[in-house]
Structure 1
Amino acid sequence: MKMQVFLPLATYPDANSDAVAANAVAVAVQLHADLHVLALHAKIPEVSTAFSHLLLDVPARIREAEAISRQAGGRLLAKVVEEGTRQGGSVTTASAAVLLAMQGEAAAEHARYFDLAITGWEPHNGTARMIAEGMIFGAGRPVMLLPDSASAATIEHIAIAWDGSRVAARAVADAMPLLARASKVHILTVVDEKPLKPSDDGERLAVSLRRRGLNADFAAISAEDCPIAVTLQDQAIERGADLLVMGGYGHSRVRDFVLGGATDGVLSDLRMPILMSH
């Protein structure tokens, strides 16, 4: 059965950069998956006031913003198709007009029909973050965050952030298609961040993965005074990992969105590709 991968594209006010095209296609190719791409075009409702037409020409400004969004979406879709041809990947494209405030929810709804969702990421791109948060906490599917600063051309070494929790276990299960192809797997447990039970020992997970034929090892690491998100990413990068797998802690936006420390830290300072499950 062929995997199906979903990529939503941010177009307005902060569009994804072209780097997402090469990274997304590269991930799909490594998974021998079909890549389905959806450009989320901005839909902006007109809010009329007595003076809006006289002072601001609101309708014209709305048309201009929506045109900019469609232009960005068209450029990004063309870039993904170009990368699909270059890398030999299977790519289909579509677009949808979505209210700006609903883009995260719309992306999550679409992502539910696929095996994996991926999204491009760059610092200070509020639209990309909204889409990522919507999918992580609303899709019920694993989400891979692909920073523009890192390449996803080869995912051979994988690190797993492990604390014995339900969301960590879910993330490992969701990452199995990638773990099965990995040449090395590193289990990382931060031992000074919160109390852990003896049964949460990452060595148990390493043994479990080795029984499946994976080349897995375990390391207990210390965060000390460093943010846990930075510690996990730095330790993963130090070990040569191409991807970090971790659980996403938090609640839905419609329930007063609250992020766990590691999740918020990763979303605020993404240094490498990360597969996150909630």
Structure 2
Amino acid sequence: MQTLTCLFLPTYPDTPDPKIAANAVAVASQLGAVLDAAVIDVNIPDVSNALSTLLLDLPAKIREAETASRSRGKALLDAVATEAVQHKVTLTTQELKAAPGLMGELAATEGRYFDLCMAGWARDSEALQSVAEEVVFSSGRPTLLLPDSEKVGDLEHVVVAWDGSRVAARAVADATPFLERAKQISIVSVVDEKVLPRQDSAERLALGLKARGFHAKAESILAGQDPIGVVLQRHAKKIGGQLLVMGAYGHSRLRDIVLGGATEGVFSDLRMPVLMSH
């Protein structure tokens, strides 16, 4: 059975880095998956009146913004298509439209038809971050966050952030396609952030993965005073991890986001590919 993946690229108010699209294609290639790339162009409701039309020419400005958004979307789809041909990835595309505040909700709804969602992240892009948050919490699908700052290579070393919780267990299950292809799996528990269900929690998971034929090892780390999401990413990169797997704590209703500590640390400072499950 072939895995179906999707990538969401909002095109307003600015353009996502094409590197995000290239990274999504690279991931789909490693999974042997079909990729559906969807650009989300802006559809701005015309709320102008006679005075605003006269003084600001608001309808013309709306048309200009929508035209620029569509142009960026087409350029992104062309970039994805080029990457897909090079990596021999089966590609489908969509051009969606949504009001500025509803792009994330639309992406989350569309994401429910796929096995894995992918969303880009950039420090200076509120649009990318809001879409990523909404997809993580509302799509019901595992979501791979892709940074725009670096090229995603082979995801051969998977690091699992483990605290024995329901969402962490869900994340491990959702990460199965990546675990099956990994050469190394590291189970990492932060022991000074909260009370864990058992002292050997990470070791217990590692034993279970070994029984399934995976190459897994466990270790414990300390967070100290640093944000837990940053600590996990920093440690993952230190040990050569190429993908971090973790549960997403919190909830989202449109833009009303309430996040757990580790989740907030990742959303505010994404440093590597992170697979999140809620």
Coarse TM-score class (shorter-chain normalised): over 0.9
Once superposed, which parts of structure 1, at least 4 consecutive aligned residues long, lie more than 4 Å away?
Answer: none
Cα deviation for residue 225 of structure 1 reads 1.2
Unaligned runs of 5+ in 1: none
Q: Is the Cα contact below 8 Å between 2:102 and 2:254 reproduced in 1?
A: no
Cα deviation for residue 48 of structure 1 reads 2.0
Provide the rounded CA distance (Å) in 2 between the counterparts of 1:227 and 1:198. Answer: 23
Provide the rounded CA distance (Å) in 2 between the counterparts of 1:256 and 1:77. Answer: 30
Do residues 140 (structure 1) and 140 (structure 2) align? yes
Question: Residue by residue, what CA displacement relative to the aligned partner does 1:38-73 show, whole Å, maximum 9, x if unpaired?
Answer: 110100001123410111100000000001100110
Cα deviation for residue 20 of structure 1 reads 1.2
Provide the rounded CA distance (Å) in 2 between the counterparts of 1:256 and 1:123. Answer: 19
Change beyond 3 A, Cα 1:251–1:62: same
* TM-score, reference length from structure 2: 0.97
Do residues 47 (structure 1) and 40 (structure 2) align? no
1:90 counterpart residue number: 90
Provide the rounded CA distance (Å) in 2 between the counterparts of 1:153 and 1:10. Answer: 24
Question: Residue by residue, what CA displacement relative to the aligned partner does 1:246-276 show, whole Å, maximum 9, x if unpaired?
Answer: 0001112259431111111101100000000
Q: Is the Cα contact below 8 Å between 1:3 and 1:32 reproduced in 2?
A: yes
Question: Residue by residue, what CA displacement relative to the aligned partner does 1:19-43 show, whole Å, maximum 9, x if unpaired?
Answer: 0121010000100000001110100
Letter in 1 for 2:184: K
Question: Residue by residue, what CA displacement relative to the aligned partner does 1:76-134 show, whole Å, maximum 9, x if unpaired?
Answer: 00000000011111111110111111111100000000000001111121110111011
Do residues 32 (structure 1) and 65 (structure 2) align? no
Question: Residue by residue, what CA displacement relative to the aligned partner does 1:136-155 show, whole Å, maximum 9, x if unpaired?
Answer: 00000000001012222311
2:181 counterpart residue number: 181
1:77 counterpart residue number: 77
Unaligned runs of 5+ in 2: none
2:193 counterpart residue number: 193
Provide the rounded CA distance (Å) in 1 between the counterparts of 2:210 and 2:276. Answer: 22
Provide the aligned C-alpha RMSD in A: 1.2
Do residues 225 (structure 1) and 220 (structure 2) align? no
2:59 counterpart residue number: 59
Equivalences, count: 278
* TM-score, reference length from structure 1: 0.97
Q: Is the Cα contact below 8 Å between 1:244 and 1:274 reproduced in 2?
A: yes
